[in-house]
Structure 1
Amino acid sequence: MNLNAQDGRRLLWQMLRIRRFEEACAELYGAGKIRGFLHLYIGEEAIAAAAMPELRADDSVLATYREHGHALARGVPMKAVMAEMFGKREGCSGGRGGSMHLFDAGRRFFGGNAIVAGALPMAAGFALAEKLRHTDRIAACFFGEGAVAEGEFHEAANLAALWRLPLLMLCENNLYAMGTALDRSEADTDLCAKARSYRLGAISVDGMNVAAVHDAMRHAVAHVRSGEGPMFVEFRTYRFRPHSMFDPELYRAKDEVERWKQHCPIAAFEAHLQALGLAVDRPAIEQEVAQELAAAIAFAEAGQWEPVENLTQHVVAPVAAATGVAP
């Protein structure tokens, strides 16, 4: 990765945006402003920050329930994401999705999916649509390593390879599917080997390293967009927080978490920039992020709840639409 000061600032800014947004969400959850489930991306910021810019605006992106960083990196406005976290109608999903179902059709960000591996068949469908339309657009799907144990992964991988779909399968392997360690659920922990068994191109990279993520994505996107078929990328990463805010985190040792924190992608990238002699003013970036975050929280606080009379909207079809007969 050939870095200049502008690229370095952009990547550091994006990672800090995601980190500070997530930290604020944890506080707001504790204050009762955000409810339901909340899955934090802290520790994994290098992936979303470096991977998303390699995708075009007309590509389709799908993700998991730990998708706040993906949405922000995709360009969904922070205020719209925060309003959705609050459940307000000004949110990117109209307040109906919450933390796990961020959605922005205009930016081709199609979730946010609460079902493990649930987005993979949909991503294969998006990729099939592009192939049938003879475009050079691709579909990219972020998912955790726990999804590899699900049938949807194998079905999507098989069909993608069989039909040579423009599908990019992006596995964020943080070693724990909820509270289950990878080696306790998978007889073979080589995820790339599983992908290659379906004749997918597959590479594994350090997901805590911004430059490694960038280079892997550039290669993978070029491969898929050129018509060479689908590709699987494993990003080896680690979440610094529990699986969700409800998680007592009894399944991994505290010293393991502390060891991984020594590989913080933000600190590592800032040190890398300094070693290259690229001057990036972190205090200025922090101030910029803080102002954006404060505005997003204020926007969410001032947002409106959806009226109760709209409860069945988008859920139950109006009688006239369903039957052709006016009520």
Structure 2
Amino acid sequence: MPLNADEQRQLFRTMLRIRRVQERIESEYMQDEMKTPVHLYIGQEAIAAGVCACLRDDDAINSNHRSHGHYLAKGGDLNAMMAELFCKSTGCSKGYGGSMHLVDVAHGNMGTSAIVGGGIPIGTGQGLAFKMQGLDRVSVVFFGDGAADEGTLYESMNFAMLKRLPVVYVLENNGWAVCSPTATRHCAENVFHKGADPELLFTAKIDGNDPELVRETMCKAVARARAGLGPSFVECVTYRILGHAGCLQQDPKGYRDADEIAAWRERCPVCTYQRKLQGQGVLSDSDLAGLEADLATEIDAAFAFARQSPLPTADDLHLNLFSE
């Protein structure tokens, strides 16, 4: 079903919010106030926005090191996220985790893992828990093409098919695992070889830079999971415009062709969707100016909150080591 104008504007707002937050982090990262490594999501915003638009607050997501977009699209608190990047006690992980370990359980952000593929079995286990509890909640796992090299993906998917678990596996194929291109690690065009029985596993390979297509495909997968019909695997083809980690000037030179980067910049999901909505008359110049102003105010406030928040103290070292 086509999106109405309000749904389109909300989808765009989510994407633009993620982009502006990432750009602000990138612009200030070299000031060295953020002591944690960061893995920016610039270029992949359509996936987080499209996927999370299909989810409820009580649905769960598990993410990876490149998690800012997922966290924000799922409703995570921006102030708490920025405080975590500044390693402050008001951070979403109380300053213990940094950029690669964001959590906001109230909104279904169950945590992110810096271990490549580490969130895949955890998200699968959450799907098992939902089924055993008789709930119609859905577990979504985000991971990159590097994690698709890990055996844990195929073990987890096999178990999810066997038990018909409400899990959606979302592969964000941005073409690179650090400095290794996908073509040097996989012998076929598809990272996932579509050999599974479609009754057991719904699969799709889509343009991950098209937020409406991502949303449409994901809503089918989520509906299937809620109905008890089992897991899905959605491969979203996209590109990380910046490097693997850090800001632009920290990206090693030479491993990517400049023409490749330029070509993908032309396919920027935020700019492309903005032009589409403006062409349809859904987004006016005044709408866009108002949105940009609101986001700038919100982001300024989040950075100020992070800077003004206290650091953890030595008295905090014994906290959160054991569950109660």
Common topology (TM > 0.5): yes
User: Counterparts of 1:80-99 in structure 2 under 5 Å?
Assistant: 80-99=80-99
State the shift of 1:27 in Å.
Answer: 2.1
- Contact 1:179–1:249 (Cα < 8 Å) also in 2: no
Quote the Cα distance in structure 1 between the aligned partners of 2:225 and 2:143. Answer: 18
1:206 and 2:207 matched: yes
User: Counterparts of 1:68-87 in structure 2 under 5 Å?
Assistant: 68-87=68-87
User: Counterparts of 1:217-232 in structure 2 under 5 Å?
Assistant: 217-232=218-233
Partner of 1:39: 39
Partner of 2:8: 8
Quote the Cα distance in structure 2 between the aligned partners of 1:223 and 1:212. Answer: 17
State the shift of 1:197 in Å.
Answer: 7.4
State the shift of 1:8 in Å.
Answer: 2.4
Q: Render the CA deviation track for 1:171-219: whole Å, top value 9, x for unaligned.
A: 1010101111111011234134257379522101111011111111111
Partner of 2:304: 298
Q: Render the CA deviation track for 1:211-265: whole Å, top value 9, x for unaligned.
A: 1111111111111111111000011110100000254143211110000000011
Quote the Cα distance in structure 2 between the aligned partners of 1:181 and 1:167. Answer: 27
Change (3 A) 1:124 1:23: same
Letter in 1 for 2:288: R
Quote the Cα distance in structure 2 between the aligned partners of 1:255 and 1:33. Answer: 33
- Contact 2:77–2:104 (Cα < 8 Å) also in 1: no
Change (3 A) 1:129 1:36: same
Quote the Cα distance in structure 2 between the aligned partners of 1:14 and 1:263. Answer: 18
State the shift of 1:275 in Å.
Answer: 2.6
- Contact 1:89–1:306 (Cα < 8 Å) also in 2: yes
Change (3 A) 1:195 1:254: farther
Unaligned regions of 5+ residues in structure 2, if any? none
Quote the Cα distance in structure 2 between the aligned partners of 1:285 and 1:201. Answer: 37
Partner of 1:325: none
Partner of 1:167: 167
Letter in 1 for 2:216: D
Partner of 1:324: none
Change (3 A) 1:108 1:282: same
Matched residues, number: 318
- Contact 1:44–1:238 (Cα < 8 Å) also in 2: yes
Unaligned regions of 5+ residues in structure 1, if any? 322-327
- Contact 1:13–1:289 (Cα < 8 Å) also in 2: no
Over aligned residue pairs, what C-alpha RMSD do you find? Answer: 1.7
State the shift of 1:104 in Å.
Answer: 1.1
- Contact 1:123–1:141 (Cα < 8 Å) also in 2: yes
Quote the Cα distance in structure 2 between the aligned partners of 1:298 and 1:37. Answer: 20
TM-score normalised by L of structure 2: 0.94
Quote the Cα distance in structure 1 between the aligned partners of 2:195 and 2:115. Answer: 21
User: Counterparts of 1:98-247 in structure 2 under 5 Å?
Assistant: 98-193=98-193, 196=196, 199-245=200-246, 246-247=250-251
Quote the Cα distance in structure 1 between the aligned partners of 2:41 and 2:253. Answer: 15
Quote the Cα distance in structure 2 between the aligned partners of 1:309 and 1:260. Answer: 48
Letter in 1 for 2:301: A
Quick one: percent identity of the two aligned structures? 39
Letter in 2 for 1:254: A
Q: Render the CA deviation track for 1:82-125: whole Å, top value 9, x for unaligned.
A: 11110001111111111000011222211221011100000111
Letter in 1 for 2:224: H
1:248 and 2:252 matched: yes
Change (3 A) 1:150 1:197: farther
Quote the Cα distance in structure 2 between the aligned partners of 1:16 and 1:309. Answer: 39
